[in-house]
Amino acid sequence: MTTLYGTSQSRAARSLWALEELGVKYTHVATAIGSGSRAPEFLKINPNGHVPALEDGGEIFWESMAINLYLAEKYGKAPFWPASVAERGHAYQWSFWAMTETEPHLLTLLGHKLFLPKEQRSDKAIADATNALKAPLGVLDAHLKGRAYLLGNDFTIADLNVASVLGLANFVQLDLAGTPAANAWLGTCLARPANQKASGMK
């Protein structure tokens, strides 16, 4: 039995995408951030009070990237789950890169453009986050020139994980025209049917 807790309006979206991409049969419990994730019954699953959380075969996992890498290793086959140790190392590398180099700045943009009360929004914070993203996006763009996907010619868990983070760029209307290879790659990844289905869930 596989159960994923969390809504598509949270980091759970990337785990829903992974489940759909892998064709795993699962139950989706659309646990909301806040009221749902702080409910006593959910805290028994994830005492941190965050989504997503995964129950699979009696095991419980937190953290979206850990969930996705676990799912890919357990249920995936090459090329989606890379065959070699070196390729898997690169999949870990890019997954963690997205979380450390880009997501904090994207979340700053999300807050100051959309979520924070207007009196708490800062044009300087927006400018600083936009400027901070230029270097990592340049790294990604340079890497993707001449490649269809992060690890070569095939879509892998690395692409899913990174695209799931960078999808926020579209949401906050970040201009990616200066990184055309990354922009084209992101559009290709986000257009995949599994992501479209996951994004349409509760």
SS3 letters across 10-75: CCHHHHHHHHHHHCCCCEEECCCCCCCCCCHHHHCCCCCCCCCEEEECCEEEECHHHHHHHHHHHH
The verdict on domain 2-76 having CATH code 3.40.30.10 is yes
61 token code pair:
């996992």
The SS3 assignment for 111 reads helix
**Per-residue pLDDT at 142 exceeds 90:** yes
Q: What is the pLDDT of residues 171-182, one digit of tens each?
A: 999 999 999 999
Find the mean pLDDT for residues 108-117.
97
Predicted TM-score of the model (pTM): 0.97
**Per-residue pLDDT at 65 exceeds 90:** yes
Q: Is 87 exposed, middle or buried (0-12, 13-18, 19+ CB in 10 A)?
A: middle
What is the CATH T-level fold of the domain 85-197, as seen in this structure? Glutathione S-transferase Yfyf (Class Pi); Chain A, domain 2 (1.20.1050)
Fold match between domain 2-76 and domain 85-197 = no
pLDDT of residue 202: 84
* Domain ranges, ordered by start, for the chain: 2-76, 85-197
Residue 49: closest CA among 6, 3, 105: 6
d(CA 164, CA 92): 14
Find the mean pLDDT for residues 33-56.
96
Find the mean pLDDT for residues 11-16.
98
Find the mean pLDDT for residues 154-162.
98
**Per-residue pLDDT at 116 exceeds 90:** yes
The pLDDT confidence band at residue 35, using thresholds 50, 70 and 90, is confident
Mean per-residue pLDDT over the chain, rounded: 97
**Per-residue pLDDT at 12 exceeds 90:** yes
Find the mean pLDDT for residues 9-22.
97
User: Looking at the DSSP assignment, which residues form a beta bridge with residue 170?
Assistant: none
